[in-house]
Amino acid sequence: MTLPGFPPQEKISAWALVNGALRWAIRAWTDGKPAAGKTLHREVIDRYLFLTKGLPEARGVLGAAATASTTFTVTKNGSVVATLAFATNSKVGVWTMAADTFCVSGDVLAIVAPATQGSAAADLTAVFSGTQT
């Protein structure tokens, strides 16, 4: 999605009160096919943030289906903590995160494109969220 007057990639993150808990949504999208290994979004955490194992409320979709298995990663301070995987011919991704993840002020979360490009996967829209602790 390109917004008039903005660069072709814009990211939005926001706090919201959901069911009595303060939630932080981290969103990223890209028009077209991202470059191999490109950081699509980087977020500096400014308060305590708790991400639940498996990222149960996370979503990820593609505008153009992956023609081969395609995996985006989420890193915390450079180390992979979660993945968003798309199966061959799929536009809907599956999030995985093996353990609860706790972030403190100054930690950096990033969404990164696959290191190699062998798929037509394009037009990613992704969101995951955590709870303020």
> What pLDDT, on a 0 to 100 scale, did the predictor assign at position 90?
93
Partners of 80 in the β-ladder: 75
All structural domains of the chain, each given as residue ranges with its CATH number in brackets, are: 13-132 (2.60.120)
pLDDT in tens, 62-119: 999 989 999 999 999 999 999 999 999 999 999 999 999 999 999 999 999 999 877 7
> What pLDDT, on a 0 to 100 scale, did the predictor assign at position 21?
65
CA-based R_g, the chain, Å? 14
pLDDT in tens, 3-39: 444 444 444 444 444 455 678 888 888 999 999 999 9
| Position 50, amino acid | F
